[in-house]
Amino acid sequence: MDEIAEDQKSESVSFVEMKAMVGSIIFLWSSIERELAKRNETPENGTNKNGAHTVAQKIARWKSLQAAVGAKRPEHQSLLQEVRERLNRALDIRNRVAHGLIGITADPFGHHGDAHLETELNGETRRHTHP
């Protein structure tokens, strides 16, 4: 087990890789937002004139559109809740990166195991360590 920990510590992470990670987060969320919009506004779901504008609203609307299926199948309701919770946790990271990114630290030689993004949003600073 110590060998695995040593291998993970010695992995280098360049500044370019950290910037690519930021781009990947934004790109992934762009596709999630488009898919949510597409799923929320279909002929069978109707069009909401007030429309969900924020991603959190789109996630909530998507979950509400699944209510009929969830009522018939409790296991589906549990899955929907888990998906919504995961989307909301990931949304928090997306918001922090998109609106509160204040630093990128790389570990190009793999000496410190400290490659991370630093964000500040709503008065709270967080470090998001590279996996």
Name the amino acid, one letter, at 2: D
CA distance 119 to 108: 21
Q: What is the pLDDT of residues 80-125, one digit of tens each?
A: 888 889 988 889 999 999 999 999 988 877 666 788 899 999 999 9
* Amino acid letter, 95: N
Q: β-strands 116-121, 124-129: how paired?
A: antiparallel
Residue 6 has pLDDT above 50, yes or no: no
For 24-76, the pLDDT digits (tens) are 999 998 998 888 888 887 656 555 555 667 888 888 888 888 877 777 887 88
Give yes or no for a contact between 113 and 8, defined as CB atoms under 8 angstroms apart: yes
How many distinct structural domains can be found in the chain? 1
Q: Has this prediction a pTM greater than 0.75? A: no
Percent of the chain at pLDDT > 90 equals 24
Print the domain residue range for 24. 2-46+53-129
